[in-house]
Structure 1
């Protein structure tokens, strides 16, 4: 599965970077996430529970950050096992770019799944990935607004009646959503290029 997309965030590039590197914030934003803990520098153990169609499972895995260029970009490698339900693995690239009213998070994701999950069919998996990604971004936006209320208020004041960006509608996933999607099946995520 290959996904890409972008998302406009109403915070500075540095604020978005800090949030994307906060395990507690990510744990709270990733749907079904039970654990997101640092095990060594740039490596995290992740456990998440999801249900896709008739298959429900708990996936445990590892997330590894590499090619880190603060506060602009990094790559994410991930792999997760869900017992008989299957596995997910892949990689994602996340990039943050400053904009007039905040920053843009963009992402690309390449992932594979196997086991019972893979037997569900691409349409069902894609639909679940979109749903997980949208849920992640809704939670992430809310968490950013709570953490940085003045940045969110400033962005609203600059563009008081701006329509929702097209990238938010029907967006497949972001890089951290990719983690949610890949670790939980898989993310994009997104996360976030």
Structure 2
């Protein structure tokens, strides 16, 4: 048996057996999941092999995957830097290159000085070079072209974008894989 550390995480699925969220991936500490299982708020789907916790009189398996008992309806998508970059798939919307989050900025398509707002339909992910080149002008004035028009994404669209992003496999436990790749093509 392995010593259970605080580093273990539990994948949280909605009642439809899909991750509650993809970006960030819905995980709880194993302790929170353990409490939720015993309060019957979630169903334990899978446990970690060889990971047992002990009380004075009992032994318990550590949950690796849990599912909510009741379906959790999606909330409105928050207008955040990360969600904006995720919507645009971490690509500059002018040059089309992918960038790490720390190298991306956001650009007002219609500059604020020209009446443009800070909202989903006027802001795009942009690299620093193109942001400086565009400056305080519209794309047309700067002789630049947007790859696609900005839009307000739904939660489903952001989840789809998140599934297209490479996952850092070191963060994913093998027991989760059956629940993360439902959209992958099956092999012959």
Smaller-chain TM-score bracket: under 0.3
Larger radius of gyration: 2
Name the structure where strand makes up a greater proportion of residues: 1
**TM-score, length of structure 2 as denominator length:** 0.24
**TM-score, length of structure 1 as denominator length:** 0.24
Relative contact order, higher structure (CA 8 A, sep 6+)? 1
Name the structure where helix makes up a greater proportion of residues: 1
